[in-house]
Structure 1
Amino acid sequence: MTEAIRQGARKKPQNMLLRLLGPGLVTGAADDDPSGIATYSRAGAQFGYGLLWTVFLTTPFMIAIQLVSARIGRVTGKGLAANVMELAPRWLVLALVFLLVAANTFNIAADIAAMGESLSLVIGGLNHEHALIFASVSTLLQVFVPYRRYAPVLKFLTLTLFAYVVTALTVNIPWGTALLAAIWPRPTITADYFLMVVAVLGTTISPYLFFWQASQEVEEMNQGKVHRPLRELTRGGLTEIDRIKLDTVVGMFFSNAIAFFIILTTAAVLNANGVTNINSATQAAEALGPLAGDFTFLLFALGIIGTGLLAIPVLAGSAAYGVSEAFGWHATLEAKAPDAVGFYTIIAAATVIGFGLGFTGISAIHMLVWSAVLNGIVAVPIMAMMMVIVTNEGLMGRFKASRWLTMLGWVGTALMAVAVIALFLSFLIG
């Protein structure tokens, strides 16, 4: 990483951070979407500090699998679906992409609903009208603002996640007890506890993040000085690999640190006061108000809106990249709408349908459950294919994964497979 840092240091100080951090930071931040906030809030409310350890468990595997996706995109110059098409039959890729789109659409629906409800809690008004504004703004920005101008907007939105750090500092936290529980957990061996562990793991490692980061590395490649895939270079390229490592490690640490603070806050306030049943991010925000004060409530609610504005483009965009690559369509946020009709149609359709689901009467918690199930079906085969690609010298050349990255990636894939099996068993038993 030192080479990338040294080269970044030669730039103006104010440009250094923007240069070194990009797809990895945005991807990590997008993982803490309103749906993720709901899961972490529920974990803290239901089990107190008892699940803080899961943040440490997931971090190395999240870093590894996102490093794999980013490396595949930059080395091959193609998105994830396009690469998987070279290994798997077309019907299987199309089936997985279809499930990805369905999962993302349900996730978008839950996120848009949470954003609308959060704004209603803060300023009043009607949930659906607020949700329409958020859905429209997100779609229009993606369609009409080119990637080179839109990427800095997404980076800026990552700052909204600091609301959850500040939120934790506004409440009374017994730090000794919390940190001891995180480092030396005493698990409660129950079905609910185990299922919440599975939920946190599934929320943290999600397929849409794989597709998004791989495609964003392709977007960055097309905007950078070297417009060719790294595997086509006879020498050099290590600077780009170092940048990807730094960007991804920082982004995933940032993502999981925010998850840590959300669990910490809800454990210290909600669980400590007997509020243990939380089913949405807005419900958590609303419950915090009378117990922790208006300022804490306001920060939590505004954080939901900010993270939603970041996550919806990532969810819709990852679906569009997957579909477009599977069908061979032009897929880039840099293109004008008439030049990438199919790509932008998927973005708009996923967002519009997600918004429309808010009028069906389906509860947000049910949409999240369906999204989790579909993500589980997609995640494991995609992760396995990613590991096959990144270790294939014919596809990756001299940039194939190192031994430690290969080991962490396969262990993460196995862990995700266990989580998915547990999730399905819970539905069958329940």
Structure 2
Amino acid sequence: MPKTVDAADPRHASGRALWLLGPAMVAGVAYLDPGNVASNMTAGAAFGYLLVWVVVLGNVMAWLIQYLSAKLGIVTGESLPQILGRRLHRPWARRAYWVQAELVAMATDVAEVIGGAVALHLLFGIPLVWGGAITGLVSMGLLLVQTRRGTRAFETVLIGLLVVIAVGFSFGLFFAPPDPAGVVEGLVPRFEGTNSVLLAASILGATIMPHAIYAHSALARDRFAPPSPSGVEAAAAPAAPASAADARADLERARGISTPRLLRATRWDVTIALAVAGTVNLAILLLAAANLAGVDGTDSLEGAYAALRDGLGPLVATLFAVGLLASGLASTSVGAYAGAEIMHGLLRARIPLVVRRLVTLVPALVILALGVDPTLALVLSQVVLSFGIPFALVPLVALTARTDVLGRHRNRRATTVAGVLASVFLITLNVALLWLVFTGG
């Protein structure tokens, strides 16, 4: 039997601790996709500091949600789509659930490819359609890294892109810091009309992304899969072991590391990833609020780039565009990974990541070819994501609260209550959005 690593043993603490980090950083890339940039830039330019509280609240809820997703993957050795695919016994139910999840994944791809296309246009003057195609091709290369070099290499590349994103979007604040009083005032929850609710839903859809919930459980599963052939696949197989408790025990023995230690490391992983993502998202909104509020033409990424160039100089604007490009390339790779896992878990069919990348690239290229305003498409795609949140979040909270799924690692009562409150809040916001849009309120 493999020896379980003791978390308290100083001989193993440093090297092992670093090895345990990574999956949340990859999932965190999804929180910094071009949809986030468009939503936060538009919110800051249109309403100043009004929606700061939405970014902060969204990041707090995201921490809980991503931790629950990772915990599900670690304890069970299965992803959320796999577990749902096994529990939805009727084929029509699995297919219906897959359709909504697939629409969400496609909306994600639209945002990420369009963002990369806009960035290439701003940096090099490349037409949007060709920029979208280039973004798709480069993302295929990133997916090949995951396929051929493994999960760890994929994580390393994406974490490198995450650093580029953070620098690109935060650099301008050193030249034009926000108003502290305005930031504090923006922490008070409130709206100002239908458009502010629309942008709030867009920010939350970009922050708490359904495909990131699906992906993180799969990333944790793949990252901590046992090295032996009798690992995750055997533990998750219906015939053996005889019970979920036996499966969890077999999984822990095969890994050679205790589940409690993995969960402790995962909490750190999620905290670091969401601290980075939340800080950068807030920096984007504050940059727009401090420099673009009331400036004509800043309701688009191209206009925001021009305003930053004219107001803060070409270096800030160029770094912003580079960050946008890195955002599109990194996040579209995570989106394709999530989409493949959704299809595998719910339809029990595997499609190569590169093939999936080609299929989901088409809608984004069509939108670009039709001349739809890229920023509008980005913001609306985030609203679609917001409506997909309950379908991922409600099952996640329910499953992680069940003893027959997680055993002694099930949620505590307070955790389940927090998850339920987050679900109710997000669903209520979406209902309010529908009411305001269709009644003209």
Alignment of 1:17-416 (within 5 A): 17=18, 19-88=19-88, 89-143=90-144, 145-148=148-151, 149-163=153-167, 164-174=169-179, 176-183=180-187, 185=188, 187=190, 189-222=192-225, 227-228=231-232, 231-233=248-250, 236-271=258-293, 274-275=294-295, 278-330=298-350, 341=351, 344-368=354-378, 370-416=380-426
1:163-203 superposed Cα distances (whole Å, 9 cap, x missing partner): 222221122433x32342244x3745433333322322222
Q: CA deviation at 1:221?
A: 1.8
Moved more, 2-11 or 61-70: 2-11
Moved more, 86-95 or 407-416: 86-95
Q: CA deviation at 1:276?
A: 6.4
- Give 1:268's aligned amino acid: A
Determine which of 412, 419, 422 is the counterpart of 2:429: 419
Name the SS of the counterpart of 1:125 in structure 2. coil
- Give 2:154's aligned amino acid: Y
Is the Cα contact below 8 Å between 2:29 and 2:277 reproduced in 1? yes
- Count of residue correspondences: 411
Distance 1:68 1:310 in 2: 23
Call closer, same or farther: CA 1:237–1:311 in 2, change over 3 Å. same
Name the SS of the counterpart of 1:358 in structure 2. helix
Is the Cα contact below 8 Å between 2:114 and 2:364 reproduced in 1? no
**Match in the other structure for 1:334:** none
Distance 1:186 1:412 in 2: 15
With normalisation by structure 2, the TM-score equals 0.85
Is the Cα contact below 8 Å between 2:121 and 2:131 reproduced in 1? yes
Distance 2:61 2:44 in 1: 22
Is the Cα contact below 8 Å between 2:29 and 2:158 reproduced in 1? no
Root-mean-square deviation (CA, aligned residues, Å) is 2.7
Distance 1:400 1:192 in 2: 39
Distance 2:383 2:190 in 1: 25
| Uncovered stretches (5+) of structure 1, i.e. residues with no partner | 331-340
Call closer, same or farther: CA 1:242–1:196 in 2, change over 3 Å. same
Distance 2:401 2:25 in 1: 24
Is the Cα contact below 8 Å between 2:38 and 2:379 reproduced in 1? no
Q: CA deviation at 1:126?
A: 2.8
Is the Cα contact below 8 Å between 1:21 and 1:247 reproduced in 2? yes
Distance 1:369 1:93 in 2: 29
- Give 1:199's aligned amino acid: S
- Give 1:66's aligned amino acid: Q
Moved more, 151-160 or 278-287: 278-287
Q: CA deviation at 1:373?
A: 4.7
Q: CA deviation at 1:278?
A: 4.1
| Uncovered stretches (5+) of structure 2, i.e. residues with no partner | 1-5, 236-246
- Give 1:287's aligned amino acid: A
**Match in the other structure for 1:333:** none
Q: CA deviation at 1:59?
A: 2.4
Is the Cα contact below 8 Å between 1:45 and 1:276 reproduced in 2? no
